[in-house]
Amino acid sequence: MKRREFLTTMAVAGLAPHLPARAMVQTPDTRPERLKLGVASYSLRKFPFEKALEMAKACDTKYINFKDVHLPRTDSPEAIKAARAKTEAAGLTIVGGGTITMRNDEAAVRKDFEYAKLAGMPVIVAAPDFESLDVVEKLAKEFQIRIAIHNHGPEDKFFPSPHDAYKLIKGRDKHMGLCIDIGHTVRTGTDPAKAVLDLRDRVYDLHVKDLRNLKDRDSQVIVGKGAIDFPALFRALLKIGYTGHVGLEYEIDVDNPLPGMQQSFAYMRGVLAGISAT
């Protein structure tokens, strides 16, 4: 058995007898939270807003990043505020929105920031082009909302890896940062854990998924069944004191994603438990 599989198996199935009694009686709501494991709502894109909230809750998470399929940018301010209130009433925290494409059009980008402010989004996961960066930076400072540039792998002509985005924002205002998509990152030959450590000062969001083949975007599987090294990634995040969102972006099983999402969360929580125990 590979070392990471062994660690995870131990974390999920074999650690309880060795944990202190105090730890064993903690409920999910009171246990110490080492990473903010949550849902990128794109995972639930085939389902309406209320059902998406229900499914996110079924993953035993408190955090959600909204794709505009669930919280449309074209909605009225009143509708956006109402959706925000429903989300909070469901016990979920809106940690961001996106991915939102941004081009060099200040009026259009301003509408995106106004939308994010109404929705209570502290972070916009963005896909800007090179020419829009000055406008995006200006409005990020004005609205006091962080931008997390999302990398999309070898097919992305702007930002294939997080390092490509970092080169262009490292000298800009601290509101400009990164959303590291680990699936797209590994396809560029970049180790996500090393990227987290190297770019730590601008890592504001994560999209997580697993791939059976680290070069093939269509080989996505339930987290823990693929080849991405989650123990190394989570250790890197803990090492840098990461406080942002670790959002599961589950792009497979679109008509029935919940079982795979729940298994993915169980694996990730098992990895964290294993790290804590060792």
Q: Residue 15 falls within a domain, yes or no?
A: no
First to last CA, the chain: 18
pLDDT tens by residue, 6-22: 444 444 444 333 333 33
Among residues 175, 65, 75, 85, the alpha carbon closest in space to that of 115 is found at 75
Q: Residue 24 falls within a domain, yes or no?
A: no
Mean pLDDT of the chain: 91
Q: Are strands 63-66 and 36-40 parallel, antiparallel or unpaired?
A: parallel
pLDDT tens by residue, 56-76: 999 999 999 999 999 999 999
Q: Residue 27 falls within a domain, yes or no?
A: no
Residue that the structure tokens 């669930």 belong to: 70
Q: Residue 147 falls within a domain, yes or no?
A: yes
pLDDT tens by residue, 129-146: 999 999 999 999 999 999
Tell me how many domains the chain contains. Answer: 1
Q: Residue 6 falls within a domain, yes or no?
A: no
Q: How are the residues of the chain apportioned to helix, strand and coil, as percentages rounded to the nearest 5?
A: 50, 20, 35
Q: Residue 87 falls within a domain, yes or no?
A: yes
Distance CA 150, CA 156 (A): 10
Full residue range of the structural domain in which residue 211 is found:
34-277
> Is the pLDDT reported for residue 1 higher than 90?
no
Q: Residue 233 falls within a domain, yes or no?
A: yes
Structure tokens at 29: 């709501």
Task: Identify the CATH number of the domain in which residue 191 sits.
Answer: 3.20.20.150
Give the 3-state secondary structure of residue 65.
strand
Q: Residue 115 falls within a domain, yes or no?
A: yes
pLDDT value at position 9? 45
